[in-house]
Structure 1
Amino acid sequence: MLLTVNGAQAAEKIKLGLGGYFAAVAVAGSQSDGVGQSAANTRNHGFARESEIFFRGETTLDNGISFGVDMQLEGETSADQIDESYIYVQGTFGRVVYGQDDPASDSMYYGSPAPIEGVGLVSPDFVSSVLANGVASPAVKSNISGDADKITYFTPRMSGFQFGLSYTPDTCGAVAAACASDAVGLESQIDTGQQSEAFEGAVNYVRAFKGGEIALYAGMATANVEGTAAAVAAAGAEDQDQWGVGFTLVYGDITFGADYREDNQGTSAANTDRTDYSVGVNYVVGDWTVGMAYAHGEAEAGAGLGKDETDGYQVGAYYALGPGITLTGGMTYWDVDDNLSAAAVENEAKEFVIGTVLEF
């Protein structure tokens, strides 16, 4: 494909470079594993890993406009073997991204720090305990479309402020999306209950001050439910809306942050909304970082039916052994409640983890 901008030519075409990470952890712990309980017959120790290889490249035209590409290959067999894949153009006008990537409401997020590098409490990469209620793990970023094909625009940062907006025609545009009509070409617009035509935007503000930095975030996401009116009503679905706020404060060796998100979950029944929030603090001591965090998620089960709740508590530390080499470890406690107090759903779990994160 030939790209030209006012006849300006690039000094050379894009060359790809390699990058990525490999995270490996060993986990041991205990949870509610009696007869009839959620973790019955579950092993009390194990290993886990997660890795990706990045293929990235960029070139700059003589007029200062840059074009680039980013493709991320999963290191394990996955439904979406290429996790994210997109191209971009950027200059004094801002940045435009096209392809499979998270929306602006996700990528512009600021909030609570993670005490255990590569693990954390909100949407963690590694969860060894059974979180079987309607919440699972807390999630604080506004994100409906995931990595579905989209176009995103980010403004230049002006006086500390930056704005971003994404549009996703169809969430079946993600390779791993479970959609009945997912196929080559234009997608169906009557996949009952699926959320599409999503607009997801955010604004953040970053300001340095003597001894530190403050970052503020606000994001929203809205999408239209698919299906005929009768089918949507029968499924109890509606247009999905999310909004969230957060902040990260760095002062000296201390990083403190918190966040909050509301989600109507795209369900039309009364009292079925979801709320998530988290708070955390990290402290740097030489090459060590120690911290603690708390996260909460709750999902209403319907009028008069109570709610499911998940609470997570975490303390941990990580050590910068060398460039791109981090040793990490800590303890996580999960308290999982079911609106009906079902033993097959509820869980009290302790996880002890030690691991390594290599970045390259």
Structure 2
Amino acid sequence: MPTILLADENTIKDSSIKISGDIDPKYGIVNQSKDFRNELGTSNKYKQNSLATSGSLKFNYDQKTEKGLGYGGYIKLNTNTSKTASGSENIASELKIYLEGNFGKFEVGSTSPVGSSMEVNSYSLARATGGLDGDWTFWLKNGGVLAKDKAIDGNYITAPQLPVGFDETTKAGKINYFTPKVNGFTFGLSYVPASKAKGTVNQTSGVLDNSGGGYKNIWQPAVGYEKSFSNGVKFTTAILGEFGKAKKVSYYNSSIIDATSTPDSNSSTEGVRNNLKAWQVGAGIGYQGFAFNGAYVDIGKSGTLVDGNEKNKKGGKYWSLGSAYATDKYGISIEYMQSKRAGALAKYTPKGSTKDLLVKFDQEKYNKFEAISIGVDYTVMPGFMPYVEITRFNFKKNDNFGNDAKFNKGTVVLAGTKIKF
């Protein structure tokens, strides 16, 4: 562990900084519906397999006073030769400070909410890249739906997460608090002033208060419980909630996908959305390397338009199950999820544009999705872990997007080797 002398030696003589990181080269093979394999509007085919490499560098700074008060910081940097798999160009993916003592722990910065570390979900057990919440979705081309030969995204729940997980960035500035564990119970609470406000004042000062989409004044409470029995069985459970004020958003009617050119902003409509109200409950059992987790989530009408059309379905739910077996050397996991969602504004990128437009479809049926993921990894040497992950997905058909809409299904196989240091 390197020791680095700080400039202000009158305050702190020396500080412990732990540097770690990971490099993850992987080979992906994608087998998806044939209509999704071409560059839209052309006969050019995408490669169905490719080699990709991602990485990160992490800095942990930890200090403790003579009275036992802990404090420090954490920085996670993207060390990629292009945009991240999710498309981010930001150098840092996480940046926070913390203060910890008998009172519990406070975190402030651009980081994940309390539920990320407290929740019990199927992907909590996942091996390889993370299973249902792993890398498989980044490898799909043209998303899950083609309407009039144009890619439509955002109408399905494809990962087992709450809305601020799959609709908004976890990089938003927030304050987290965790209580000490008492009789197996832990309570956590996150506050996010605005889901669109992330990073420095250069970005946060330009976020609109009541418009522009996203949520504001978000609260995420979480309660976790853990109990170990004398026979070696371990039981865990957690309940999470998310509540916040939805901001207005500009959107276009579905007729926009017939347009041959990018529409101007004057043809959009600004609509009021339903506030954020969602919850998740999960539970798990572990015994001698075996583990089984399950979770159920109801996101309600969070983020859907208040349009007065009673025929349109609105809201979303999902459930997921996962099991795993792990030793010091290897691990294997299997997960399954089903979801349904309706009323969410779709994302559509007009040809020649790099900006997503939000599109409203009348949806009298739920958009249903299911996936199963199996992951295996093996630790050959400390920090050296080859893995294989296979995910089968299915965006189920419906007529919400028109009779000529096409829906994606197939398999993503990822094989790689992680190096952690």
TM-score where L is the length of structure 1: 0.85
Q: CA RMSD in A?
A: 2.8
Residue 116 of structure 2 aligns to a residue whose secondary structure is helix
Matched-pair contact (CA < 8 Å) for 2:242–2:279: yes
- State the partner residue of 2:156: 135
| Number of aligned residues | 341
For structure 1, which segment, 266-275 or 58-67, has the greater mean C-alpha deviation from structure 2 after superposition? 266-275
Unaligned runs of 5+ in 2: 1-9, 39-44, 146-154, 250-268, 344-360
Assess, with a 3 A threshold, how the Cα gap between structure 1 residues 26 and 119 changes in structure 2: closer, same or farther: farther
Assess, with a 3 A threshold, how the Cα gap between structure 1 residues 29 and 356 changes in structure 2: closer, same or farther: same
- State the partner residue of 2:29: 28
Matched-pair contact (CA < 8 Å) for 2:28–2:415: yes
Deviation at 1:182, TM superposition (A): 6.9
Within 5 Å, give how 1:310-321 maps onto structure 2: 310-321=369-380
Cα distance in 2 between the residues matched to 1:200 and 1:21 = 30
Residue 196 of structure 1 aligns to a residue whose secondary structure is strand
Residue 36 of structure 2 aligns to a residue whose secondary structure is coil
- State the partner residue of 2:17: 16
- State the partner residue of 1:197: 217
Cα distance in 2 between the residues matched to 1:120 and 1:164 = 26
1:51 aligns with 2:55: yes
Give, as a single letter, the amino acid of the residue that structure 1 aligns with 2:178. F
Give, as a single letter, the amino acid of the residue that structure 1 aligns with 2:64. T
Within 5 Å, give how 1:174-185 maps onto structure 2: 174-175=198-199, 183=203, 185=205
Within 5 Å, give how 1:1-360 maps onto structure 2: 12-33=13-34, 37-40=35-38, 41-76=45-80, 77=83, 78-113=88-123, 114-122=125-133, 124=135, 127-130=138-141, 131-133=143-145, 134-135=155-156, 137-141=158-162, 143=164, 146-175=170-199, 183=203, 185=205, 187-209=207-229, 210-227=231-248, 234-263=270-299, 264-267=301-304, 268-269=306-307, 271-284=313-326, 287-301=329-343, 305-340=364-399, 345-360=406-421
For structure 1, which segment, 49-58 or 332-341, has the greater mean C-alpha deviation from structure 2 after superposition? 332-341
Deviation at 1:42, TM superposition (A): 3.0
**Structure with the larger helix share:** 2
Assess, with a 3 A threshold, how the Cα gap between structure 1 residues 44 and 227 changes in structure 2: closer, same or farther: closer
Deviation at 1:160, TM superposition (A): 0.5
Give, as a single letter, the amino acid of the residue that structure 1 aligns with 2:131. G
Give, as a single letter, the amino acid of the residue that structure 1 aligns with 2:27. A
- State the partner residue of 1:4: none
Cα distance in 2 between the residues matched to 1:218 and 1:20 = 31
Matched-pair contact (CA < 8 Å) for 1:21–1:358: yes
Cα distance in 1 between the residues matched to 2:51 and 2:61 = 34
Offset from partner CA, 1:160-209 (integer Å, 9 cap, x none): 10001111111222249xxxx97464743122433111111111111222
Cα distance in 1 between the residues matched to 2:272 and 2:398 = 19
Matched-pair contact (CA < 8 Å) for 2:342–2:363: no
- State the partner residue of 1:5: none
Unaligned runs of 5+ in 1: 1-8
Cα distance in 2 between the residues matched to 1:42 and 1:234 = 36
Residue 262 of structure 1 aligns to a residue whose secondary structure is strand
Deviation at 1:235, TM superposition (A): 1.5
Cα distance in 2 between the residues matched to 1:276 and 1:29 = 25
Give, as a single letter, the amino acid of the residue that structure 2 aligns with 1:265. S
